[in-house]
Amino acid sequence: MKELEDYVRNIPDFPEPGIIFRDVTSILQDPDGLAMSIDGLLAMLKGVEYDVVVGPESRGFIFGVPVAYAAHKGFVPVRKKGKLPCETVAAEYDLEYGSAVLEMHKDAVKPGQKVVIVDDLIATGGTIEAITGLVEQLGGEVVKICFVMELAGLKGREKLKDYQVESIITYEGK
């Protein structure tokens, strides 16, 4: 029987020499890989009390919505600046070369709600760190952060040290 890691396509020297790109699209393309990834995320949430799932654009949508659906929870999208139609809260965060802004609807998370964040990959942790700030600004409590894959060599967990973080697959490198 295959493991989820077997569905990940490894692309050497992308986006630059010496980097191995871990391609999540190969998980999505295979029905068994997709089911295994969603089931793995749901297993991480067994026994966790939460009200809503939050996921960043775009792969956080892909993995977060089926988790929310299966658990009969709502889903809150976090998008790039200017993409949401109602009043928003925003957080700026650093990228490798520059910065970006994420937004969430101001009424998306209610004070006191318990929140789970779901995304495909943790690398440096900057995106999720920004999202935890948005959730908390709205009065929500982040109770768990779940990833399909983790690049441990980039030390993203250090930015999220105050939260319960779990990944299905962990790669030691970058």
Query: Looking at the annotation, which residues are catalytic?
Result: 59, 96
Tally of residues, the chain: 174
Write out the H or E segment, with its range, that includes residue 89. strand 88-95
Check if the beta carbon of residue 165 is closer than 8 Å to that of residue 142.
no
- Residue 119 burial (CB count, 10 A): 25
Which residues are 142's β-sheet partners?
115
The owner of tokens 């988790």 is 67
Write out the H or E segment, with its range, that includes residue 40. helix 31-44
Q: How far apart are CA 73 and CA 98, in angstroms?
A: 35
Give the three-class secondary structure for 109: coil
Which of 59, 53, 165, 66 has its CA nearest to residue 108? Answer: 53
